[in-house]
Structure 1
């Protein structure tokens, strides 16, 4: 792809959520979402194969439907109140439509089925943007107006998302689909606490991004697209093998790693608000997530070939890929739990 074109695309992707975050006008927020949507499609089809084209088409149709629902709710609200912002007087049906549109964009259950298929069909770099940066703009709108949305609707979507993300990830062997179902489950954790403490939602999003980014960097550097291909990590990058295991355990929420912090804080907040059934159900679903992360660790660390390590040969090859940002991101994604008193 032309470097100038690629620069414009990335600048548009970066600008879209910023416009949504900084705006107080609903129509301008919608414009920011559309910029984000249209700029990602060329990155999805960069490989130019039928699978990526199909994934980009699914993504466009799904996101365009969500955008039209959101625009319709904005126009109905403007017709009723004459304002380009949601108010406590806004009709509850309008706010339900807003939540449905944002749930589609975030990949929340029961509107989640497009996310694993799209993530599987695109390249790993576009998949990283889809599962991290693309979540910021819709979630920022949800954070601004969550008090106007029925809390029972938020709780129901959170429960379904956590259960679907955990259960459907069990029978997956493709790393991109596993990370997509992990994203669905993490979105459920974020939405579950939105009615009680929105600050924990932001903390969960930041930690989720810091854990997902190094995993995709590793997958992209050595083309680990399936669990079976991850068994080659022992020969390609033995020094990173224990760190990958730690990142996966951190993503699963195992103490004393960074990923335990948001789950610990969210469960504590739910129990303080007398919501013990939801906290118990989400804690049990987290164990299912931890199971398929452990299965990936088994393929990475415990399944090795009966041969000598040939990493010295890879080091001297001129085409060996390196990523200088990977070590600090690995440290952040695994060792940030001691900072929990400051973060909370």
Structure 2
């Protein structure tokens, strides 16, 4: 892609997200979401492959549907209350439509069906943008409208997303689909605590972005898109293989890695709110996700590739890719747990 075109598209992504962050009017927030969608569509279709075009079409139709629902909900709320302010979402019909549309935007269950299929058709860097940056603007709106949403709706979305993300990834062989179901499960963790401690939702979102960035960049370094290609990772990059395995375990929430921090604090907050059954359900659902992370780690660390592999030649070669973002994101994704007390002081 032409570097000038790429710069314009990435700038538009930043502009759309910033516009949604800064707006208190539904129309401006909707414009920011639309700029985001239109900016990432050319990045998704740049491969000129039927699968990429199909994924782009699915993503565009889904996001257009969600945007239309947001605009209709905002119009309904303005018709009833006379105001377009985001924080004044008082009518139950408008609030329910809004949270449904925003759940469709970020891929929360049961509106998650598009996400694995879309992510499967993208290259790893575009998939990274879709899994991280594209979540920011809708989540800013979700946090603002959460006080007007029925707590039972938020709890149902959270539990259903965590269970769906766990079950859906169990039988997958494509890494991008596994990471899509991982995204659905992590979004569920953020939704479940939103009504009680929004600051923990932001913490979980930040940690998820860091860990997912480390995982995607590691897979991009070795061009791995299937579990079978992970078996050659040790022979290609003997240092990156255990680092990637640790990043996946961090995504699963195992101590003493960074990913344990948000799950620990969320479960602690739910027990403080006297929700032991919900906390137990979320902890058990996390075990489902941990299983398919362990499958990936098993393929990287405990198997040897057959000689008939179809992947690139598994010899140790010098890479021309930039390794600084990978090094920084991996370090952060593995080693932030000791600063949990400091983060906890900031969020209280």
TM-score (norm 2): 0.94
1:93-152 CA-to-partner distances (Å, cap 9, x unmatched) read 110000000000010000000000000011111111111000000000011110000110
Aligned to 1:314: 317
- SS of structure 2 residue aligned to 1:325: helix
For 1:72 and 1:88, locate their aligned partners in 2 and report how far apart those are by CA, in whole Å. Answer: 15
More displaced stretch, 241-250 vs 320-329: 320-329
For 1:334 and 1:129, locate their aligned partners in 2 and report how far apart those are by CA, in whole Å. Answer: 21
- SS of structure 2 residue aligned to 1:238: coil
For 1:280 and 1:218, locate their aligned partners in 2 and report how far apart those are by CA, in whole Å. Answer: 32
Aligned to 2:33: 33
Is the Cα–Cα contact under 8 Å of residues 270 and 276 in structure 2 kept in the other structure?
yes
- SS of structure 2 residue aligned to 1:321: coil
For 2:270 and 2:153, locate their aligned partners in 1 and report how far apart those are by CA, in whole Å. Answer: 16
- SS of structure 2 residue aligned to 1:85: coil
Is the Cα–Cα contact under 8 Å of residues 109 and 160 in structure 1 kept in the other structure?
yes
C-alpha distance 338-221 of structure 1, shift in aligned 2 (>3 A): same
C-alpha distance 123-306 of structure 1, shift in aligned 2 (>3 A): closer
C-alpha distance 100-338 of structure 1, shift in aligned 2 (>3 A): same
For 1:121 and 1:328, locate their aligned partners in 2 and report how far apart those are by CA, in whole Å. Answer: 27
Aligned residues: 339
User: 1:88: how far off?
Assistant: 5.4
Aligned to 1:205: 205
TM alignment of 1:83-94, pairs within 5 A: 83-86=83-86, 90-94=90-94
Aligned to 2:246: 246
For 1:321 and 1:86, locate their aligned partners in 2 and report how far apart those are by CA, in whole Å. Answer: 43
Where does structure 1 differ by over 6 angstroms across 4 or more consecutive aligned residues? none
For 2:302 and 2:162, locate their aligned partners in 1 and report how far apart those are by CA, in whole Å. Answer: 28
Aligned to 1:215: 215
TM-score (norm 1): 0.95
Is the Cα–Cα contact under 8 Å of residues 89 and 145 in structure 2 kept in the other structure?
no
For 1:128 and 1:87, locate their aligned partners in 2 and report how far apart those are by CA, in whole Å. Answer: 31
Aligned to 2:287: 287
For 2:104 and 2:305, locate their aligned partners in 1 and report how far apart those are by CA, in whole Å. Answer: 43
User: 1:305: how far off?
Assistant: 4.6
C-alpha distance 139-73 of structure 1, shift in aligned 2 (>3 A): same
For 2:14 and 2:225, locate their aligned partners in 1 and report how far apart those are by CA, in whole Å. Answer: 26
1:155-181 CA-to-partner distances (Å, cap 9, x unmatched) read 001111000000010000111000000
User: 1:89: how far off?
Assistant: 6.8
